[in-house]
């Protein structure tokens, strides 16, 4: 496959300037194609594209990509956060309900035992 030193890439940025998506030209076996408007495309080395962290990387007008490591860590922590399934939430709710009922039974037992 033919490679290029730099290729044209069109970045999609969020309101803070972080890269949230991109399109790049590609080689179809015969020629390089860019199926997007290249008027706002930037020339970027393929190796630099591999280092992009969506939501934490920014690109300068001359194609230099930098990554905010604090933002990357924040995004990775959010992505790794455990979200309980509906079944796990139901089990937790039933466990809480069971503990509340057990506490009420204990209270009633103590009251009944104290009156005899």
Asked whether the predicted pLDDT for residue 70 surpasses 80, the reply is yes
Asked whether the predicted pLDDT for residue 4 surpasses 90, the reply is no
Token pair for 49: 């594209």
Asked whether the predicted pLDDT for residue 111 surpasses 90, the reply is no
Confidence at residue 115, expressed as pLDDT on a 0 to 100 scale: 59
Mean pLDDT of the 48-70 span: 92
pLDDT in tens, 80-102: 998 889 999 999 999 999 999 99
* Closest to 59 in 3D by CA, of 70, 48, 50: 48
Mean pLDDT of the 23-45 span: 91
């Amino acid at each position: 496959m033919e490679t290029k030193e730099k290729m044209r890439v069109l970045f999609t940025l969020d309101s803070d300037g972080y890269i949230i998506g991109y399109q790049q030209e590609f080689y179809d076996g015969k020629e390089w194609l860019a199926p997007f408007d290249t008027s706002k495309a930037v020339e970027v080395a393929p190796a630099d594209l591999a280092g992009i962290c969506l939501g934490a990387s920014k690109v300068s007008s001359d194609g230099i990509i930098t990554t905010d490591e604090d933002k990357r860590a924040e995004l990775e922590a959010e992505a790794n956060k455990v979200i309980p399934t509906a079944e796990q939430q139901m089990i937790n709710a039933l466990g809480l309900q069971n503990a509340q009922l057990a506490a009420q039974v204990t209270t009633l037992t103590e009251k009944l035992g104290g009156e005899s």
